[in-house]
Structure 1
Amino acid sequence: MFNNNYKEIKNPTIGFYKEKGSKFISYLFPVYSEEDVKEKLVKIKKLEHAARHHCYAYIINSDKSEQRANDDGEPSSTAGKPILGQIQSNNLTNTLIIVARYFGGTKLGVPGLIRSYKKAASDAISSGIILKKTIKEEYKVDFKFPQINNVMRLIKENELEVVSTNFKTDCTLIFTVPKNKADNIVCKFKNNHKLKLKYLKTI
């Protein structure tokens, strides 16, 4: 069954975990592109420049289509993967977590590293406000001015959210619709051959 909702964190947060002298400082950020991720990584690496590792994971897009985990020199799958696992287990997207590790002099071993990065990531998530959002599709409809009443009736009857309008001789209106209702709405607009409907993006 299609899930029409997704979750993301409203605000940046900070978490912390300590294991045998090693300190794990976690930073959570809402992100919406790889450029956002790169910008936040540069910021934290500068802020925590003395840390031995800056491990991270992120998930982007309402359909969670972009996912990545990075161990930054830690043994394979002991850092990025457990961080990513916490994002996944909380059903979050548009979320980046970076964990800066300060070595405490005692090696933690694979189980200790996995536990530490997991708990640091979890602490950052628990400090945030989780928002539940609806997956929507955005469309543009082009039409001549005499069709404006027909268009606005469709908008009102189907409770569509208007993003922008341009009402001149050649009119344009951009609206959003919940993804699970999109097919039905598209059919209604296409039944009027004087309206030209174009899909723009999923948000």
Structure 2
Amino acid sequence: MSLHALVAPVAHAIEVKHSRFRAQAAPVATPDAAMEWIRDVSEVEATHHCWAWRIGAEYRSSDDGEPAGTAGRPILAAIDGQGFDRVAVVVSRWYGGIKLGAGGLVRAYGGAAAECLRTAPRTPIVPLVEADLAFPFEDTGAVHAALSAHAAEKLHERHVADGTRIRIRLPAAAVDALKTQLRDATRDRVTVLPLA
């Protein structure tokens, strides 16, 4: 499954048995940025501010006083179910006087978050990798043509006695095609060293 990032912050509101739920989502780059955004958008007059964020393999969630597992985890499940990464979601609840029960809370919090993300503008997250290339001077034109053809970004270039060294960043899916083009265009004179 391909992952997506939010293009811009979004919000969605629902009402369930007189309780109002307002989901807000925003792109975030770090755990600290996620927590700061959550603090900034939590509305003082709301009864609960339940939230979750995911950034790669890192994630956190909070039920903020709701019964354990009825809010934060459903919000996180909505993030994962909608295929998002690098995102934080807060669902604020204004209690309407009618208890929803555990199942009702899971549906309300998870549903508000899922609908907020479902309609959100998104962009695919393209995994990038870095590599070092080493090649003789005479292959410079062929190397630069191959880099351009495979959307590789040149990060650093230096010349040494026997040729050139370039550090590049490119989409992970383009690595094999770039290696093939470099091999064919230079009679296999380019060494590609992936970075750990």
2:10 to 4, 13, 24: 13
User: Once the two structures are aligned, what percentage of the paired residues are identical?
Assistant: 25
Question: What is the identity, as a one-letter code, of the residue corresponding to 2:63?
Answer: D
Matched, 1:28 2:21: no
Give the greater-gyration-radius structure (CA).
2
Pairs within 5 Å for 1:101-120: 101-120=93-112
Q: Judge conservation of contact 2:135–2:189 (CA < 8 Å) in 1.
A: no
Question: What is the identity, as a one-letter code, of the residue corresponding to 1:178?
Answer: P
Unaligned runs of 5+ in 2: none
2:120 to 103, 108, 128: 128
Cα RMSD between the aligned structures?
Answer: 2.9
SS of equivalent to 2:92: strand
TM-score computed with the length of structure 1 as normaliser: 0.76
Displacement after TM superposition at 1:165 (Å): 4.8
Matched, 1:199 2:191: no
Give the total of aligned pairs. Answer: 189
State how far apart, in whole Å, the 2-side matches of 1:97 and 1:135 are. 23
Q: Relative to 1, partners in 2 of residues 1:85 and 1:141: Cα closer, same or farther, differing over 3 Å?
A: same
TM-score computed with the length of structure 2 as normaliser: 0.78
Displacement after TM superposition at 1:66 (Å): 1.8
1:40 to 37, 41, 45: 37
Q: Judge conservation of contact 2:150–2:178 (CA < 8 Å) in 1.
A: no
Deviations 1:90-115 (A, max 9, x none): 12212211111111222211111111
State how far apart, in whole Å, the 1-side matches of 2:9 and 2:165 are. 37
SS of equivalent to 1:76: coil
Unaligned runs of 5+ in 1: none
In structure 2, the partner of 1:151 is 143
Displacement after TM superposition at 1:185 (Å): 4.8
